[in-house]
Chains A and B, each alone.
Chain A
């Protein structure tokens, strides 16, 4: 195959303990560490490995986000992507518009394989890959834990509730990746310097002339209901007693 497109979303870092703002308008993001969505990082690692095996010639990282997302695209370039495109938006974006934007770039670039994370760890929606494949009328293989190229087909192992499902998809296709596909590489300092010279194009969302899609509007954020404080028992006899008291044995 020729080109692989990888989607990168800028999200609150995995290790941050997210807090809801007191006025319920969202979550605290001031001064909070932002990173590439961890699943997207796995998607990028996979694309780089495919290219390093000589099975693809170019890896393009694309983000649909605000200007700040250039940081995450630069990190993607430092990991080894060849070039980057930022589809620039103001504020938030809905998954359908995101899928349409990524698809428009995919078509313009004649991409053969699209690799995305299976979900973003901020909105936990898990929609973009499936929507993109639907609009493209092409295969989707979600929650991938292994990928193997075989000519114009990819064999994908999917992590599903019942176990592992093996599917064959014809290219071009959209694949969303799960945790255990690989371990993303660390970025080295010289690579960060090199990445500064790689191309990063900015494309305003309006330039893609996409149809309007009304978003699912977030109205109020609240912290989750807390569970009542529990008890600590001293020994197994105490545990069995407490379980019996609740009628659980």
Chain B
């Protein structure tokens, strides 16, 4: 048996879909028995949602006032105190998990496996390096827990037909107050979340301005799609930082991805490689985006995109 402790990601009221993708990864470990830990200020709803995830053995609910909007320094010691007896401690490779899991690993005195894209054996995993230009097979040391983050774009969420038991856990550890979350300025819109959307429309610097970027928004609205951007478009100030896709932004895996005026630097492409179908609209037929596109159209985006938006009416 391989005991897995999986740290649930949530926003204080609902479970983030990244969690069900982590579970999918954990099921690839032979003999996995998966416990999901929900650390929250009030955990009932989130824990109930976690309990429906297929393949989950039980849900551990850890309620503490300090766990509302908690920084990693608050969560990590609680996770470490639960870690005894677990062979694996997994979290998502979102900004939540990237921030938290190395802190857990260091407190346990072990190195971390970042961004698991496939499980090859009990201690053998594949992960991307060099912005996805290389895939490396890694071997985690035996005889110590494997702390890891899961590249969520590599996995499909498990189903939700389960009713795993929920157990309340009391944890008495010192919680530091040297780090205080002041507020979250959410860039949230009515549009689907970039990381879970089935369709994503993204724009690059060729849109030329914030007004130009409206073309992306209009097409996205027509498709019910999430909106993304290249680093160049974000740096130019056309859209918010949290729309950036790529090595240093978000890694996404929608069914349909439409890249508008994005040249396709390797740092961007690594963020979209797992998309089902990639469509590229670009006036430069030599643009590297066409090397990964399933459907390409060469021409002026300022003509093509409005025409496409109209055609979808």
Which A residues lie within 8 Å of B76 (CB)?
Answer: 134
Interface membership of A220, Cβ < 8 A: yes
Which B residues lie within 8 Å of A166 (CB)?
Answer: 181-185
Cβ contact within 8 Å between A121 and B94: no
Which A residues lie within 8 Å of B215 (CB)?
Answer: none
Main secondary structure of the interface of A (DSSP, over half): mixed
Within 8 A of B (CB), among A122-168: 122-128, 130-135, 137-143, 145, 155, 158-168
Number of interface residues of A (CB under 8 A): 84
With A169-B179, A224-B273 known as contacts, the answer to whether A243 contacts B279 (CB < 8 A) is yes
The interface-forming segment of B25-33, B44-52, B111-119 is B111-119
Interface membership of A67, Cβ < 8 A: no
With A155-B182, A163-B185, A168-B182 known as contacts, the answer to whether A140 contacts B136 (CB < 8 A) is no
Q: Which of A18, A227, A234, A248 contacts B256 (CB 8 A)?
A: A248
With A167-B181, A240-B312 known as contacts, the answer to whether A159 contacts B242 (CB < 8 A) is yes
With A122-B129, A161-B94, A168-B179 known as contacts, the answer to whether A221 contacts B248 (CB < 8 A) is no
Per-residue CB contact flags for chain A residues 175-216 toward chain B (1 = under 8 Å, else 0) read 000111000000000000000000000000000000101111
The interface-forming segment of B34-42, B82-90, B98-106, B200-208 is B98-106
Interface membership of A233, Cβ < 8 A: yes
A180 to B243, CA, bound (A): 13
Within 8 A of A (CB), among B231-265: 231, 234-235, 240-242, 247-248, 250, 255-256
A173 to B113, CA, bound (A): 24
Interface residues of B (CB under 8 A from A): 11, 71-73, 76, 94-96, 98-107, 109-115, 124, 128-141, 144, 176, 178-188, 195, 231, 234-235, 240-242, 247-248, 250, 255-256, 266, 273, 276-279, 285, 290, 292-298, 304, 307-308, 311-312
